[in-house]
Amino acid sequence: MRKIAILSLIAVAVLHNQGIGQSLITKDSLAEKMLVYQLSNGAWPKQLVDKSVVDYSLPLTNKLLQKIKTTAIDHATLDNSATTREINGLIKAFKDTKNQTYLTAAEKGINYILSAQYENGGFPQYYPNKSLYRAEITYNDNAMINALLVLHNVANKQDGFEAVNTAFISKAQLAVKKGIACILKTQVIQEGERSIWAAQYDEKTLAPAQARKFEPASLSTSESVAIVRFLMLQPATNEIQQAIEHAINWFQQNDIEGYRFDHVKDQITGKSERKLIADSSSTIWARFYHLVDNRPLFGDRDDMIKYNFEEVSEERRNGYAWFGNWPEKLIQKDYPKWKKKYNIQ
């Protein structure tokens, strides 16, 4: 019995060394599902089952597999962390399992990101689908920044990306350089001073642009916080330093003190509604601000801009993050740490 057991172990080891037994001992269940969803151009889709992102907890039924199989590359996107989430997940799975299939799929995704970048350094929300607002340079939901973070890791051979084929390194370095140039060009100038960034821009003119009807051309705090954090990862050139400091200054000057954005139960209808509530201990920011005079503004499905939150339709009031504390940690912790790192007074 003991002799048979030893021979069995030797056989497994041989099969593993030859790659035959790899599928038995080095598979990652989440990564395996990511492989199934990957499109032929290397990207990943979203909203296949009435969700804003792929839900990998769903079982791969025959019906779902058929839907995945027939998904066109027009669904390839960087929106809502699609593609970048999967690349990061596959890189981690490769690090844990050494399953070469995961690394190959991640590299295919990286190649997609590189191909999606415009010559001016920007990234669209979708590629190659350019319908409606999908071709705009998109900071919204951190689409462009998530792509640049992947390339930053490739360029610097870090966080598991040191396993990526070295042929990608110089390409990623150039792409990051172009991305930073685009970021600096698109920082909105107000009366000669840098402010923050819009959520999306015309891909040719670099002018702030509208996306969905309730997402008007405007300054966007949430996305700008992610942009500043990305710039803080880069060497602190004079231009990058100015961009960061001016953005921080803008955040400090345009906060809304004494309010929080919270759910309140209507005493008559019993429904939960999102409202601005007086709270002396809270500081928040509007999601969107006017490009010129910095008034908080709100879009709606009627394509109208409103400056009074109570005038927004009930569906949109409750269905969008109109206020938040996104810049708070950036100002209080990240910015002082960055200044200390580069000895900036």
Question: Residue 24 has what pLDDT?
Answer: 53
89-133 pLDDT, tens per residue? 999 999 999 999 999 999 999 999 999 999 999 999 999 999 999
Quickly count: other Cβ atoms within 10 Å of residue 51's Cβ.
Answer: 11
Regions of the chain short of the pLDDT cut 70? 1-25, 51
pLDDT at residue 81, as a whole number: 97
Encode pLDDT of 209-265 as tens digits. 999 999 999 999 999 999 999 999 999 999 999 999 999 999 999 999 999 999 888
Quick check: 142 and 226 in contact, CB under 8 A? yes
What angle, 0 to 180 degrees and rounded to 10, lies between the N-to-C axes of helices 84-97 and 29-37? 140
Answer whether 307's CB lies under 8 Å from 216's CB.
no
The pLDDT of residue 48: 79
Furthest-apart CA atoms within the chain: distance in Å = 85
Distance linking the first and last C-alpha atoms of the chain: 74
